[in-house]
Amino acid sequence: MNQTQIALIQQSWQQVLPIKLQAAELFYNRLFELDPSLKPMFNGDIKEQGDKLMLTLTIAINSLTKLETLIPVLEDMAIRHIGYGVQDEHYQTVGQALIDTLAQAFGEDFTDELKSAWLTMYETVATVMINATKK
């Protein structure tokens, strides 16, 4: 990820924060549409899970310029996710749900450049998390 991509992600995320509850709902609706078999992994309150998702994304996005502090957090989270039944292929579905949610939230403002930045960020995060489960 380069500095331009990080800036694009951080600036665009500021536009998502005011609608974070709706964005979380869009995300989980899309996730379960893409793979209904994932729904049983979320046996708690989905709104509470959405709050956790948005907080986690905010922390990750704010830490993009300090990857050395973000990577251990992502690795720990990946290890916890094994206990929830998360498998490597789920990361692709989650990434697609995230991109689809952002595309819906931003509409025409979701340019190719912005989409590419988000895809790069998600690929980086997913790679760190998947690799952590292989250690």
- 76 token code pair: 């720990």
Q: How confident is the model over 97-119, as pLDDT tens digits?
A: 999 999 999 999 999 999 999 99
Q: How many domains does the chain have?
A: 1
Note the pTM of the prediction, 2 decimals.
0.94
Domain extent at residue 84: 3-132
What are the Cα distances from residue 6, in Å, to 14, 52, 55, 63, 96? 13, 22, 18, 10, 19
Domain CATH code at residue 111: 1.10.490.10
Residue 113 and residue 129: Cα distance in Å, rounded? 24
Q: How confident is the model over 20-51, as pLDDT tens digits?
A: 999 999 999 999 999 999 999 988 899 999 99
